[in-house]
Amino acid sequence: MEYTVLVRMNAKLFLRDPESSELGRRIVRQSIRLIADIGFEEMTFRKLADRIGTTEASIYRYFENKHRLLVYLVAWYWQWLEYQVLFQTNNLTDAREKLERVLRLLLLKDFSLAAASSDDIDIMALHSIVIQESSKAYLTHHVTQDNKEQLFKPYKDLCSRIAGIIHEYRPHYPYARSRASSLIETAHYQAFFMQYLPSLTDFGADPNHPAGNDDRLLSFLRHLLFSSLETKNV
């Protein structure tokens, strides 16, 4: 079954809605591929303009700067992921099964089930950006102002959604939001370390068996989640 997710973005993230024009859509989609290819630090609006055959000035009509563009892309991903959590757990009744599905979604283990919803967004490339660059969206001196403008609401909503499932599994668990956010961050940091700083993980990258490392990371996340939820003295 094919379907498309319509992601409504905070208007304060852009100067002109990129989804309102063909050029804007190309800016978003090609910026994902460019950042995935060369990294956020090396990415510039000039390089992006060259890639899509336009001018820097035309990109600045949509986004104030490249940091705002990064926040836009990361926020889009969080909203897309929250929808996947809702969609793929909607017909499940067992809370543990829902949490198992969440863990797989955090690692995109079931990407084939969600691929049709990408609306020609390269989800795998965007997932890679989230792993490598997403902390740069909020580790800034203006994080407080950005937060007041609700630029991080999609991430908060995702954490709240996962926390709600945690409470289904264990209603009186006192750290559901902290567990949800730390679970997301751990999934992404460990995936990053696994690829670039393997001595910081127990899942050193093995190019011959990448799926095996992903499975071990999934097992670690499962242990992290359920061992904390099932601790008797919490």
194: in domain: yes
pLDDT band at 1, cuts 50/70/90?
A: very low
- Total domains present in the chain: 1
What's this model's pTM, rounded to 2 decimal places? 0.92
175: in domain: yes
Q: Which helix (H) or strand (E) holds 38?
A: helix 22-38
Tens-place pLDDT, residues 89-135? 999 999 999 999 999 999 997 655 545 455 689 999 999 999 999 99
179: in domain: yes
pLDDT (average), residues 27-52: 97
Long-range contacts of 106-111 (CB under 8 A, 24+ apart): 106/81, 106/183, 106/184, 106/187, 106/188, 106/221, 107/187, 107/191, 107/214, 107/217, 107/218, 107/221, 109/214, 109/218
142: in domain: yes
161 pLDDT above the threshold of 80: yes
- Say which residues have a Cβ less than 8 Å from residue 135's Cβ, sequence separation at least 6: none
76: in domain: yes
16: in domain: no
22: in domain: no
Total H helices, total E strands in the chain: 11, 0
3 pLDDT above the threshold of 60: no
For position 107, which CATH number holds?
A: 1.10.357
Q: Domain span at residue 191?
A: 68-229
Q: What is the mean pLDDT of the chain?
A: 91
61: in domain: no
Tens-place pLDDT, residues 186-197? 999 999 999 899
CA dihedral 118, 124, 127, 133 (to 10 degrees): -120
